[in-house]
Amino acid sequence: MSSTVQQPAIDAQAVLRRLGIEPVNSGVCWGEWIANPSGGELVSHSPGDGSELARVRMASEAEYDEVVAQAAKAFEKWRLFPAPRRGQIVREIGDELRACKDDLGALVTLEMGKILAEGLGEVQEMIDVADFSVGLSRQLYGLTMPSERPGHRMYELWHPLGIAGVITAFNFPVAVWSWNALIAMACGDTVLWKPSSMTPLTAIAVQHICNRVLDRHGWKGVCNLVIGSGSKVGERMLHDKRVPLVSCTGSTAVGIHVAEVVGERLGRTILELGGNNGIVAMDDANLELLVRAVLFAAVGTAGQRCTSTRRLLLQKGIAATVTDRLIHVYKQVPIGDPLDAGTLMGPLVSRSAVQDMMRGLERIREQGGEILYGGERVDLPGGCYVQPTIVRARHDMPIVREEIFAPILYVMEFDNLDQALEWHNEVPQGLSSAIFTTNVISAETFLSARGSDCGIANVNIGTSGAEIGGAFGGEKETGGGRESGSDSWKQYMRRQTVTVNMSNDLPLSQGIQFHI
């Protein structure tokens, strides 16, 4: 391990200024910022050095209601605005994101702590989703189907749904909003965003960008922001019948609560929850690829991706070699200021995340796990830095089934593919998975119905770093949601099955006769 302490090359105050962040900001907006909202004050600290970045005034329940009323009003018009023209507005948001990619990427790094390359990557992901969504705005296709009745035509129409509530986690503070919001906007929904309280400034910066574009076209209430606590503002959204869809990205515990509350009012949910992702590496794997992939997937974002690799299942023949090589590369990971171009691992998001990791390591030791590398705090400004950690573990240690949101990698040794599949699938989460092999039979078995039970299954690629074109999400306790690409858009719309009778007769389906 090497640590870097250098002066950041980026002027944080200048980045904040250019993105419209003031020392004290309103966190509530429906196109107009609500001045001095009354839900209390939130301080945003940079995990990179513990400094205060800015303050945010949060929404009270009354201000939440005001924003929802505006979002509902805007929906009445936005849903009638032609979809390709909605797409053009999303295109302009994408252009604005391109123009401020460097600043917004730096702000993601400043506020959340991921390294600058990943902060920039996150903004690129928003740009990619914007492009996807522009194309989508001309492709909201419904099927036509042959009617069994003569002189009849059947087809389906897709209509906008209403206000799409979007609750996001701290670790992808802006990209996850875009997966939902930019697609929902093309679909004709208005969007109500409640970001994580750990990352309010990135949300405010994105809202400024959206306001700039929407203002140019005379729209208000299409993109809306309510920064407030989960227990007040978040809870209000879950119970709010004016919000027909709540898309929630976060921990499984919060997701279960969201499902219960929104489900009780028969609202829709999209749930993107915790992961516990495994890589199965066979004896015939390309070890160069494997070690590089594990390094990125387990250490990248300091192990704080939902898709981070947490479990590495190694076949016996390569287990010792791969473990040694990983320890060797882990020792060289530069840890330090996430704004520094030489850093590969920045801080955890907060000191309490560091404590959670340390508590997790205690439990790992109690359960018989052997720490092969890492496991210590790293003494750098802000107090949020840790070593990436490799643990020799048994698959049946209870803690291996939990998601510890930190750079802890469990290494386990297996005999054959059947055993590896059993161990791989026995955790409660089901987000991302991968196999490393040069054998087509092993690869196809991993992808088959008796293979990986996850929403994402890769061959010779790590578990993290998905492209936006596919549907993203996972099974079991990961919540079953799918966002971003493929046909995820359908969740933001309501489907109407239409049958038109162009005849002068009234035949009934299933051949039923019903006349006097």
> Which residues contact ligand NAD by CB under 6 A?
167-172, 194, 196-197, 230-231, 234-235, 238, 249-251, 254, 257, 272-275, 306, 403, 405, 431, 474, 478
Give me the least distance between CB of 50 and ligand NAD, in Å please.
Answer: 19
Q: Are 28 and 226 in contact (CB under 8 A)?
A: yes
Closest CA to 153 of 505, 513, 512, 503: 503
Q: Which is nearer to ligand NAD, 318 or 386 (CB)?
A: 386
Give me the least distance between CB of 437 and ligand NAD, in Å please.
Answer: 26
Q: Which is nearer to ligand NAD, 197 or 442 (CB)?
A: 197
- The SS3 assignment for 83 reads helix
- Token pair of 389, please? 């950690």
Distances in Å between the Cα of 257 and the Cα atoms of 239, 243, 253, 287 are: 11, 16, 7, 42
Give me the least distance between CB of 68 and ligand NAD, in Å please.
Answer: 14
Q: Which is nearer to ligand NAD, 1 or 256 (CB)?
A: 256
For this structure, is 413 an active site residue? no
Give me the least distance between CB of 330 and ligand NAD, in Å please.
Answer: 22
d(CA 321, CA 354): 30
Backbone torsions φ then ψ of 210, nearest 5 degrees: -65, -40
d(CA 382, CA 380): 6
Give me the least distance between CB of 361 and ligand NAD, in Å please.
Answer: 18
Q: Which is nearer to ligand NAD, 113 or 250 (CB)?
A: 250
Give me the least distance between CB of 346 and ligand NAD, in Å please.
Answer: 16
Q: Are 196 and 174 in contact (CB under 8 A)?
A: no
Closest CA to 344 of 332, 360, 361: 332
Closest CA to 195 of 207, 212, 184: 207
Q: Which is nearer to ligand NAD, 188 or 234 (CB)?
A: 234
Kindly report the three-state secondary structure assignment for every residue of 419-459: HHHHHHHCCCEECEEEEECCCHHHHHHHHCCCCCCCCEEEE
- Token pair of 329, please? 């590369």
Q: Which is nearer to ligand NAD, 432 or 442 (CB)?
A: 432
Residue 428 one-letter amino acid: P
Give me the least distance between CB of 419 and ligand NAD, in Å please.
Answer: 26
DSSP per-residue codes, 328-345:
HHHHT-EEE-TTSTT-SB
d(CA 492, CA 500): 25
Q: Which is nearer to ligand NAD, 347 or 474 (CB)?
A: 474
Q: Which helix (H) or strand (E) holds 495?
A: strand 493-501
Catalytic residue among 306, 403, 413, 483: 306
d(CA 56, CA 41): 6
Give me the least distance between CB of 440 and ligand NAD, in Å please.
Answer: 30
3-state DSSP helix/strand/coil percent for the chain, to nearest 5?
A: 40, 20, 40
Q: Which residues pair with 413 in a beta bridge?
A: 314
Q: Which helix (H) or strand (E) holds 55?
A: strand 52-57
d(CA 95, CA 320): 49
Q: Which residues pair with 498 in a beta bridge?
A: 155
Catalytic residue among 63, 92, 125, 272: 272
Q: Which is nearer to ligand NAD, 208 or 305 (CB)?
A: 305
Buried b (16+ CB within 10 A) or exposed e, 426-464: ebebbbbbbbbbeeeebbebbeeeebbbbbbbbeebbbb
Q: Which is nearer to ligand NAD, 417 or 427 (CB)?
A: 427
For this structure, is 483 an active site residue? no
Q: Which is nearer to ligand NAD, 49 or 272 (CB)?
A: 272
Give me the least distance between CB of 47 and ligand NAD, in Å please.
Answer: 13
Calculate the CA dihedral of residues 280, 286, 292, 295 and round it to 10 degrees: 20
Give me the least distance between CB of 343 and ligand NAD, in Å please.
Answer: 22
Q: Give catalytic residue positions.
A: 272, 306
